[in-house]
Chain A
Amino acid sequence: MMNAHIHIPKLRLGKTEIDVFPYWLGLLAAGIAFGLYGAFIVLRDGLQVTGLSNQVPWGLWISVDLSSISLGGSAFLFGVIVYLLRVKRFEAIGKLAVLLGFLGYSTAGMVLLFDLGQPLRFWHPVVFWQPHSLLWEVTMCVVLYLNVLLAELLPVILEHPIFHEHPWLTKFPILGKLFNLLHKLAHWLHSFGPVLAIAGLTLSLLHQASLGATYSVLAGRGMWFNQSAPVQFVISAMGGGTALLFFMGVIVFRVMRPGQVKDESLYDVARLAGGTTLLFIYLRMWDWAVANYYSFDRLVDMQTKALDTVAPFSASFWFGQVLLPLIGASVLLAAGKVKNFKVLMLSALLVVFSTVLLRWNYNFAGLIASITYDPFTPDIRINNYAPTIIEFAVATLVISYWLLMFTLAARFLPFSAHNEHH
């Protein structure tokens, strides 16, 4: 049954059908080449090639980092659903969630490497502990969680027939032995499924929340000083990550592997994404009310107004983070009634977009409009930041990596629902 039929979608132009796969790979290769050029320049010349400054030290890369971590949020959720709650019909979808989690976190790690002033010292937080720092905690959690994800992903990759049936396995016995060993490792890891799920849940809740807290402990930045940011980050990662899982799940299962996952299971994923996102919007509204209450704090009020002068800050809040996800989440919640996968996928994209926008807005709100220290007439200073072509190149590199890995996995991995040993 394994790998029985993977349907590759084709582009129809009049009467001719074109397999876009090689062109798509070519496009991604071009993106990676462009990105590698940028990466080389950054590593050679340092961060002076970016648009970052002492006033806006975190920019495009940190936003990409936060977004890709949040969009990997379905992995821990479905780890719990599949391995702890033992909901069997989500087994195949759970494997896709693990892949998305691994891609999200490895992308984040990669982009952070370029964002460090001293990339070769990336390992310092693991050895030189400073447990008071939220960033230390985030680093430790992400490093550990990447290992958990790798342990969960290995069995998924080893399902590929190349590791069972390739003629080279008999031609070169050492390969056969190596893969046998890997299979044993994968089987052993698989038996630890529930343990890994609990570890993943713990680590994910910790660092997704701490990413919000990374900002919300900074009292000097006015509107960042926000007690609900940790909860918002966790819930929106669960909603946005699951929305992305639904979108990719439709491509991988409904389009490319018809029949492997029932539509009803995909609807359930959509409902989960929609429900969680509605919960997030509810929390966000309370947060807005609380922030408004505190905007009797003159500085925070001035900050919000200053942001509106340089960017449609309030508009992007109401449209991007409330209205659009509200529409998207409501449609997803009613997936069983909507039943139109094009509409559902579009709705999932709205939720994904709002998840990214939240990170983007959060990161820049405190940096672009910063509070001055004038003891008598404190004011809001507007700082400038525009990403350079090199920053876009590195962002293209990591996004192309994400897409390439996903493409290869979608095309070649079986994502079978039943593990051979069970």
Chain B
Amino acid sequence: MNTQQTQPTPEQNNTSRRDFLKVAGGLAGAAGLAQFFSLQTLAVRDASSGGHGEGPQWGMLVDIDLCIGCNYCTYACQAVNNLAEDMRYNVVTTETTESGAEFFLSRPCMHCEEAPCVHVCPVGATYHRPDGIVTMDYDLCIGCRYCQVACPYDVRVFNWSDPVADSPRSPNFGVQEVPNRPRGVMEKCTFCEHRIDAGTERGLTPGVDEAATPACVVACPTGARVFGDLKDEHSPISVALHEAKVSLRLREDLSTSPRVYYIPPANMAEEG
């Protein structure tokens, strides 16, 4: 932009000095505005649909038949993120199949490729990382809770009160690994991005090495949860998805393209 101002084109030379100053002033103003609103940052954040970045794309698989409803995933998550008893990024509920059989549905954030929460956030506080993780900038969040209203999976959690000193799940299920968030911001499951980032820096493989894998996956006593790079066909999740004949994602009718897959109960698969 600066070169345009200092080196006028021949047409501009023909116009009066006053006109040129006007144009130059306008350009300078635009440049200043662009700086002020940091359009560049905006463009990066504006990856409003995930899954098009270079490098690994993280995903999770939950085998419903293996889940015993012990809630260890929830507790490990609470310990690592230092959450109070009533704050849960991960929720385990009891649901029923069409034949009436009960099963446990363990539900973290789906990290949708077309995440409704990312689309609606008025300040870009919820955004896609290049690896597809839907995460939060807690310094930007104004606490309007539009993301919570938009989320079809009820996995966004608002920080209604001040953070607790120590999670009741700590130290039995882990210790705090991320800083506390202030009262009045939205929180969410981040696929333990801090573990993934620190792990990959040390050459570890998320989904394989425990230190680089989300706490809920590590804590699961039955191995119902599998994590890994969806783009790598040798990753644990790709192998498991390949082996499982059927897999499903929640509310696929909404076209949110979740990154969390489920293997339905075996009796369902036979019926289907």
Instruction: Mark A residues whose CB is within 8 Å of B.
Output: 45-48, 54-55, 57-58, 115-118, 121-122, 124-125, 127-130, 132-136, 139, 214, 217-221, 366-367, 370-377
Q: State whether A57 touches B145 (Cβ < 8 A).
A: yes
Checking B46, B143, B264 against A132 with a beta-carbon cut-off of 8 angstroms, the contacting residue is B46
Question: Is B152 located at the chain interface by the 8 A CB criterion?
Answer: yes
Question: Is B52 located at the chain interface by the 8 A CB criterion?
Answer: no
Q: Give the Cβ gap from B35 to chain A, nearest Cβ, in Å.
A: 12
Q: Given that A46-B183, A117-B183, A129-B124 are contacting pairs, would A57 and B158 also be in contact in the complex, using a CB cutoff of 8 Å? A: yes
Q: Mark B136-172, 1 if CB is under 8 A from A, else 0.
A: 0000111111101111111011111110000000000
Q: State whether A48 touches B96 (Cβ < 8 A).
A: no
Q: Give the Cβ gap from B103 to chain A, nearest Cβ, in Å.
A: 9
Separation of A388 and B254 alpha carbons in the complex (Å): 34
Checking A48, A116, A219, A370 against B142 with a beta-carbon cut-off of 8 angstroms, the contacting residue is A116
Separation of A221 and B140 alpha carbons in the complex (Å): 26
Q: State whether A129 touches B37 (Cβ < 8 A).
A: yes
Q: State whether B154 touches A54 (Cβ < 8 A).
A: yes
Q: Given that A117-B141, A132-B48, A375-B248 are contacting pairs, would A220 and B151 also be in contact in the complex, using a CB cutoff of 8 Å? A: yes
Q: Given that A57-B145, A117-B184, A128-B123 are contacting pairs, would A48 and B248 also be in contact in the complex, using a CB cutoff of 8 Å? A: no
Q: Given that A133-B120, A373-B152 are contacting pairs, would A128 and B140 also be in contact in the complex, using a CB cutoff of 8 Å? A: yes
Q: State whether B143 touches A118 (Cβ < 8 A).
A: yes
Q: State whether A47 touches B184 (Cβ < 8 A).
A: yes
Separation of A221 and B264 alpha carbons in the complex (Å): 24
| 8 Å CB interface, B226-251 against A | 248, 250-251
Of all chain A residues, the one with the shortest Cβ separation from B152 is A220
Q: State whether B116 touches A218 (Cβ < 8 A).
A: yes
Checking A130, A134, A376 against B123 with a beta-carbon cut-off of 8 angstroms, the contacting residue is A130
Q: State whether B37 touches A375 (Cβ < 8 A).
A: no
Q: Given that A117-B184, A118-B185, A375-B264 are contacting pairs, would A57 and B149 also be in contact in the complex, using a CB cutoff of 8 Å? A: yes
Which residues of B lie under 8 Å from residue A46 when comparing CB positions? 160-162, 183-184
Give 6 new A-B contacts, CB below 8 A, not counting A135-B122, A375-B264: A57-B148, A117-B183, A133-B121, A373-B154, A374-B105, A375-B95
Checking B156, B186, B268 against A376 with a beta-carbon cut-off of 8 angstroms, the contacting residue is B268
Separation of A373 and B254 alpha carbons in the complex (Å): 11
Question: Is B128 located at the chain interface by the 8 A CB criterion?
Answer: no
A to B CB contacts below 8 Å, 26 in the list: A46-B184, A47-B160, A47-B184, A54-B157, A116-B142, A116-B143, A117-B141, A117-B144, A117-B158, A117-B186, A118-B142, A118-B185, A121-B142, A124-B140, A128-B123, A130-B121, A130-B124, A133-B122, A135-B146, A139-B122, A217-B150, A220-B116, A220-B150, A366-B149, A375-B248, A376-B98
Separation of A180 and B48 alpha carbons in the complex (Å): 51
Checking A47, A217, A375 against B250 with a beta-carbon cut-off of 8 angstroms, the contacting residue is A375
Separation of A218 and B146 alpha carbons in the complex (Å): 10
Q: Mark B176-205, 1 if CB is under 8 A from A, else 0.
A: 000000111110000000000000000000
Separation of A375 and B161 alpha carbons in the complex (Å): 33
Separation of A132 and B121 alpha carbons in the complex (Å): 8
Which residues of A lie under 8 Å from residue B37 when comparing CB positions? 127, 129
Of all chain A residues, the one with the shortest Cβ separation from B156 is A54
Checking A135, A219, A374 against B152 with a beta-carbon cut-off of 8 angstroms, the contacting residue is A219
Question: Is B72 located at the chain interface by the 8 A CB criterion?
Answer: no
| 8 Å CB interface, B81-133 against A | 95-98, 105, 107, 116, 119-125
Separation of A308 and B223 alpha carbons in the complex (Å): 43
Q: Give the Cβ gap from A370 to chain B, nearest Cβ, in Å.
A: 7
Of all chain A residues, the one with the shortest Cβ separation from B103 is A376
Question: Is B262 located at the chain interface by the 8 A CB criterion?
Answer: yes
Q: State whether A219 touches B156 (Cβ < 8 A).
A: no
Which residues of B lie under 8 Å from residue A221 when comparing CB positions? 149, 152
Question: Is B23 located at the chain interface by the 8 A CB criterion?
Answer: no
Question: Is B42 located at the chain interface by the 8 A CB criterion?
Answer: yes
| 8 Å CB interface, B33-67 against A | 36-37, 42, 45-46, 48
Which residues of A lie under 8 Å from residue B146 when comparing CB positions? 133, 135, 214
Checking B96, B121, B140 against A377 with a beta-carbon cut-off of 8 angstroms, the contacting residue is B96
Which residues of A lie under 8 Å from residue B48 when comparing CB positions? 132
Of all chain A residues, the one with the shortest Cβ separation from B153 is A373
Checking B120, B125, B145 against A134 with a beta-carbon cut-off of 8 angstroms, the contacting residue is B120
Q: State whether B149 touches A375 (Cβ < 8 A).
A: no
Q: State whether B119 touches A133 (Cβ < 8 A).
A: yes
Q: State whether B142 touches A218 (Cβ < 8 A).
A: no
Which residues of A lie under 8 Å from residue B143 when comparing CB positions? 47, 116-118, 121
Which residues of B lie under 8 Å from residue A125 when comparing CB positions? 122-123, 142
Which of A46, A55, A58 has most chain B Cβ within 10 Å?
A46
Which residues of B lie under 8 Å from residue A57 when comparing CB positions? 145, 148-149, 158
Separation of A125 and B120 alpha carbons in the complex (Å): 12
Of all chain B residues, the one with the shortest Cβ separation from A134 is B120
Separation of A121 and B144 alpha carbons in the complex (Å): 10
Of all chain B residues, the one with the shortest Cβ separation from A378 is B251
Which residues of A lie under 8 Å from residue B158 when comparing CB positions? 47, 54, 57, 117
Closest 7 CB pairs of A and B: A117-B143, A220-B152, A117-B184, A136-B122, A57-B145, A130-B124, A135-B122
Separation of A140 and B137 alpha carbons in the complex (Å): 21
Which of A45, A48, A57 has most chain B Cβ within 10 Å?
A57
Q: State whether A117 touches B159 (Cβ < 8 A).
A: yes
Q: State whether B120 touches A367 (Cβ < 8 A).
A: no
Of all chain B residues, the one with the shortest Cβ separation from A138 is B122
Q: Give the Cβ gap from A389 to chain B, nearest Cβ, in Å.
A: 17
Which residues of A lie under 8 Å from residue B46 when comparing CB positions? 130, 132
Checking B95, B142, B154, B182 against A124 with a beta-carbon cut-off of 8 angstroms, the contacting residue is B142
Q: Given that A376-B96, A377-B98 are contacting pairs, would A130 and B150 also be in contact in the complex, using a CB cutoff of 8 Å? A: no
Of all chain A residues, the one with the shortest Cβ separation from B127 is A130
Q: State whether A136 touches B123 (Cβ < 8 A).
A: yes
Q: Given that A58-B149, A118-B182 are contacting pairs, would A219 and B116 also be in contact in the complex, using a CB cutoff of 8 Å? A: yes
Which residues of A lie under 8 Å from residue B157 when comparing CB positions? 54
Q: Give the Cβ gap from B50 to chain A, nearest Cβ, in Å.
A: 14
Of all chain B residues, the one with the shortest Cβ separation from A47 is B160
